[in-house]
Amino acid sequence: MPKAIWNGVVLAESDDTIVVEGNHYFPPQALRREHFRDSETTTTCPWKGEAHYYTLEVDGQSNPDAAWHYPQAKEAAKHIEGRVAFWKGVTVDP
């Protein structure tokens, strides 16, 4: 079952991920929300839409904008709307 791990802590775990462009998108209910803080950062993907980010917090350390999601994905990316993906040192173990 895929797990997103940072600083030795499991941030998300689910056997219901969707892989897009090499990134596992986890369903929202798979997140351990105590490690996620909303960020004001947004970026735009031409086919997915506007991404919103989370800063991760584990054991007093922060990883700014290390997770993202598309709250209102464009039609081509509706299948990942609301799901969360990771980068910036977060590993996803299959």
Range of the domain at 32: 3-93
Q: What is the pTM of this model?
A: 0.96
State mean pLDDT over 79-86. 98
pLDDT value for 67: 98
How crowded is residue 73: how many other Cβ atoms within 10 Å of its Cβ? 20
* Residue 53 β-bridge partners: 68
* More confident position, 44 or 94: 44
Interatomic CA distance for residues 29 and 48, integer angstroms:
21
CATH number for the domain harbouring residue 24 = 2.170.150.40
Interatomic CA distance for residues 41 and 84, integer angstroms:
15
Rg (CA), the chain: 12
State mean pLDDT over 11-17. 98
* Residue 94: pLDDT band with limits 50, 70, 90: confident
Given a cut of 90, whether residue 81 has pLDDT beyond it is yes
Given a cut of 90, whether residue 88 has pLDDT beyond it is yes
Q: How does pLDDT run across 34-52, given as a tens digit for each residue?
A: 999 999 999 999 999 999 9
Q: How many domains does the chain have?
A: 1
